[in-house]
Amino acid sequence: MSSRRDFLQKISASAFSLPFLSWASCTDNKSSQYQTQEGPVLRVAIMGLGSYGNRVAEAMQSCKRAKVAGVISGTPSKIKDWQSRYNIPDKNCYNYENFDRIKDNTDIDAVYVITPNALHHDQVIRVAKAGKHAICEKPMAINAKEGQEMVDACNNANVKLLVGYRMHFEPKTLEIIRMRKEGELGKIMFFQGLSGFRIGDPNQWRLNKQLSGGGAMMDIGIYSINGARYMVGEEPVWVTAQETKTNLDKFKEGVDETIQFQLGFPSGAVASCLSTYNMNFLDRFYLNGQEGFAELQPATGYGPIQGRTNKGELTQPHMTHQTVQMDEMAAIILDGKQPIVAVDGAEGVKDLKIIDAIYLAVQTGKKIDVKL
């Protein structure tokens, strides 16, 4: 988490100087695109060089359709390290104050925003105004209103906005979705999603409401929300929720420790889920139908995902999630490919509307209607 703290300390400091040259010799993106046998390569600048940014970049080394082409960071030493590791030229390096200049850089097609939740809104809108496609980590914003503003900004700029839903491309997950779609599980009745771990450093940004927008729900909890939707195959129409907080020093006002929540779907199916920062070994999805069941445990970790159904063990091979995600997102952006499960900004806004409803249900103790 020290890398995150470094980032947060640096983001408010004055901009450091980096050599920047616009590619005046390049007249259009297509002329400078790398080509492979599979097609053009999506050239990505990573914004936020913390632990997950590093994981994404390492995974992209195995991509066929995506390449790390630039960096955006508030820490000069990190930029120098990434330059040496990924052969990134000075002209493709930016800080948080000057990255709007990316507009003139035809060597970069998209920016992957991997920063604290509360920063996503402004940063994605700036990326859109610079004419670059945006990929944003989840949750896409701290509420549905901000998320919709991000979608609108990208639509107005005629650029794509995708959200880092890596599980939407995971083979065992997709096999369960296939089975459900083809009726092999029968009428879906129930989903359970358990998402949680014991969080450490109390001073990290994830426990700072101004940066995270909440607590466990704005981090690990979104997996059960999103998972309920793609596993059941419907959109919820109501939500109820209850909060438990045992450590008021660590989990201050507006920072949730544990929330249990329930979702109701038009068909009558229901979901019962748990989001927590105070329990380990919680990463399980269970889907029940009248003709069968499916279970994933672990369900959303970095892998390998393990799963079984009433027909036996799931045996689809493990592939590094972020490698698959970035190759698939390159195909979405460059080829117009339609994914099996949506990963666009509209998908992200739906999750945010549910999160808004969960927090409202906690505050009021009432069943909240949801309209997606």
Which residues, in sequence order, are CB contacts of 306 under 8 Å at separation 6+?
172, 296, 297, 298, 314
**C-alpha pair distances (Å), 23 with each of 41, 92, 160:** 18, 10, 23
52 is an active site residue:
no
Which residues, in sequence order, are CB contacts of 177 under 8 Å at separation 6+?
230, 231, 233, 340, 341
270, 193 Cβ separation under 8 angstroms: no
Handedness of CA 194, 197, 202, 205 (dihedral sign): negative
Per annotation, catalytic residue among 52, 223, 230, 359: 223
- The C-alpha atoms of residue 69 and residue 109 are separated, in whole angstroms, by 9
Beta bridge partners of 195: 275, 283
CA atoms within 13 A on the CB side of 351: 29
- Phi-psi bin for 268: left (phi > 0), alpha (psi -120 to 50), beta? left
Helix (H, G, I), strand (E, B) or coil at 371: coil
Residue bearing tokens 């259009």:
28
Which residues, in sequence order, are CB contacts of 276 under 8 Å at separation 6+?
195, 196, 197, 216, 220, 257, 258, 259, 282
Per annotation, catalytic residue among 10, 138, 160, 350: 138
- The C-alpha atoms of residue 64 and residue 324 are separated, in whole angstroms, by 9
223 is an active site residue:
yes
Active site residues: 138, 223
